[in-house]
Every structure is written in structure tokens, then in C-alpha cells.
């Protein structure tokens, strides 16, 4: 990405130029650093993962704006790639959305998505359909989000969860309406089904906007490669479960080994060394800074 552009401008430019953007999902600043070091050009902070990280609870609307924005600020501050964040339902009505946008902007976030679920929301991949508000109500919230931003490059992503309960036709209709309301990107949440590939093609072909797809879990959707997703017409793909599921599996495995063996020798080759861990955190840079500025330079 061009060095003279802000991270928001970089993301906005890439939404219409070049290949599809891949944003692996993380839930903390440590994960954000790892995504950047792996060479990805954007990172996604998942509400599901943040709820697990901060509260140890499922994603059922328990994380509020203050918790999420402060957490996002720490992640955005330690990377120089765009951070895209889940903003749930905007944490209230159109007035709350105004405050939500301002808080995420101040946190250094590049983009947020706001969904049309009824509050309190539930993760789109938990069992059952999701009740949604009237389309007109969410149109007003998207309009409020667009009007609230002080930086015109701050990206508003409109998400609809209408497909599960009201059908794909209604979800696409809502996506079109949210685009007209000023959304920069449209996100139609879909669950795996026998028709998922045809559904995805309909979303991109019938929506006059860059489209985001959520690749979370297995099934046909989880088996698609990045080129295959891009061929369906998407401009942005998020992988929300990547860090939380990979880390959870590894931690559970290491704990089981310690409980069984009394040490972690059997899984040591699947754990970072101290050197590798410190490299992720940039310890060398801190030490160089100490040599430049501390009185007891060595």
C-alpha cells in the first residue's frame, strides 16, 4: 500500500482496485501484530472473539461500546495496517450510532460494520435466525453513521442479517437500501446451505457496492480458497474465527498435555519459543530505543 496514504485511505483505495482484501480475524493487539507480520494488508477484530477475550462469555450483546473501542484502540495502535471492527448494532439508536462512530474514529479504527439485528444481538453463526429491525430504522442508522464521521475516509460497512429469517431477496433489498443511505460496503450475512455459492453470486451481482463476505466455520463456504471467493465478486473477506479457534485449540491441547504428563515437552514444537514470542512483540525495537534515550545506555 502507498506509504503516503492513511490506513483508511489505503483501505478505501483497495476496495475498488487490485485483488480482494483478506482480513484475518483477531481479538486482541497481540493477534493484530501477528497478522501484520504474516504479510496481510488488513486485520479484522471480531465481536465474538472480543466477548470471549474480555468477558469469557458468548457473543450475545454483552460487550458494550466502551469496552470494544478501548480494546480496538490498543490493537490499532500497534499495527500500521487498517483495522476493521465489528460494531454490533451500533450500540443503540441513531443517536448512539453517532457516538459509536466518533469513538471508533478516535480509536484509530479504519472501518466498522453495523448490523440490522434487534438488540441485544447474537452472533450470526449461533443457532437460529436473527430478528431484524425495520429496514427504514436501519437506513436511518446508516445515514447517521455517515453524517457522524469527521474523517470522510472512515469506512461504514452496512450489515444485514435478514437472510436467515426473511430470505435472500429481502436481504439483498436491504443491502441496496443501505448502500443508497451512504454505506461504503455492503455485508449480507449468510449461513452455509446447499445454495450458498449461488446465494453469494446473487449478493455481489445485485448489489452496486463493494461486498464483504464472512468466512467463519466449515461447510462449502469454509472450503473456498481466496481466489474462489474473489471470483464470486467479493472485494473483502473476513475470517473472524481464525485466531480465536486456532489459539483455543492450541491452549486446550497444551493444558491437556501438562495435566497428563506434568510438563509441556510433548507439545513444545507447537509453541512459540521465547525468542519467537519477543519477535512478535517487537522487543528488539524497544531495546534499540533504550540504547538511544535512557541515561544508562549500554
Q: Assess whether 59 carries a catalytic annotation.
A: yes
Per-residue pLDDT tens over the stretch 123-154: 655 555 679 999 999 999 999 999 999 999 99
* Model pTM score: 0.94
Choice among 28, 48, 85, 214 that is catalytic:
214
Report the C-alpha gap between 77 and 35 in whole angstroms.
14
Q: Assess whether 214 carries a catalytic annotation.
A: yes
Q: Assess whether 99 carries a catalytic annotation.
A: no
Q: Assess whether 88 carries a catalytic annotation.
A: yes
Q: Assess whether 125 carries a catalytic annotation.
A: no
What domains can you pick out in the chain, each with its CATH number?
7-241 (3.20.20.60), 248-293 (no CATH)
- Count CB atoms within 10 A of the CB of residue 114: 26
> What sections of 187-293 are H helices per DSSP?
196-205, 219-223, 226-231, 241-261, 274-281, 283-293
Q: What is the DSSP string of 126-158?
A: SSS---B--HHHHHHHHHHHHHH-SSTTSEEEE
Q: Assess whether 44 carries a catalytic annotation.
A: yes
Per-residue pLDDT tens over the stretch 168-197: 999 999 999 999 999 999 999 998 888 999
Amino acid at each position: 500500500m502507498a506509504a503516503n496514504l492513511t490506513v483508511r485511505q489505503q483501505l478505501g483505495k483497495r476496495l475498488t482496485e487490485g485483488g480482494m482484501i483478506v482480513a484475518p480475524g483477531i481479538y486482541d493487539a497481540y493477534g493484530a501484530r501477528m497478522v501484520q507480520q504474516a504479510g496481510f494488508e488488513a486485520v479484522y477484530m471480531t465481536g465474538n472473539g472480543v466477548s470471549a477475550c474480555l468477558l469469557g462469555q458468548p457473543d450475545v450483546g454483552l460487550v458494550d461500546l466502551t469496552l470494544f473501542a478501548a480494546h480496538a484502540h490498543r490493537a490499532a495502535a500497534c499495527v500500521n495496517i487498517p483495522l476493521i471492527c465489528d460494531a454490533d448494532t451500533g450500540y443503540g439508536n441513531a443517536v448512539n450510532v453517532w457516538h459509536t462512530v466518533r469513538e471508533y474514529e478516535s480509536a484509530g479504527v479504519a472501518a466498522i460494520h453495523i448490523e440490522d439485528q434487534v438488540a441485544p444481538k447474537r452472533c450470526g453463526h449461533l443457532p437460529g435466525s436473527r430478528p431484524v429491525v425495520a429496514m427504514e430504522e436501519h437506513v436511518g442508522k446508516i445515514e447517521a453513521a455517515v453524517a457522524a464521521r469527521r474523517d470522510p475516509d472512515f469506512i461504514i460497512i452496512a450489515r444485514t442479517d435478514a437472510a436467515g429469517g426473511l430470505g435472500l431477496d429481502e436481504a439483498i433489498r436491504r443491502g441496496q437500501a443501505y448502500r443508497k443511505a451512504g454505506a461504503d460496503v455492503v455485508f449480507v450475512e449468510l449461513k452455509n446451505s446447499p445454495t450458498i455459492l449461488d446465494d453469494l453470486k446473487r449478493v455481489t451481482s445485485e448489489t452496486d457496492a463493494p461486498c464483504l463476505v464472512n468466512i467463519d466455520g466449515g461447510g462449502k463456504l469454509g472450503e473456498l480458497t481466496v481466489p474462489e471467493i474473489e471470483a464470486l465478486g467479493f472485494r473483502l473477506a473476513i475470517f473472524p474465527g481464525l485466531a480465536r479457534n486456532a489459539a483455543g485449540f492450541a491452549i486446550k491441547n497444551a493444558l491437556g498435555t501438562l495435566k497428563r504428563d506434568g510438563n509441556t515437552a510433548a507439545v513444545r514444537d507447537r509453541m512459540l519459543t521465547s525468542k519467537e514470542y519477543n519477535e512478535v512483540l517487537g522487543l528488539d525495537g524497544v531495546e534499540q530505543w533504550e540504547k538511544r534515550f535512557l541515561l544508562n545506555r549500554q
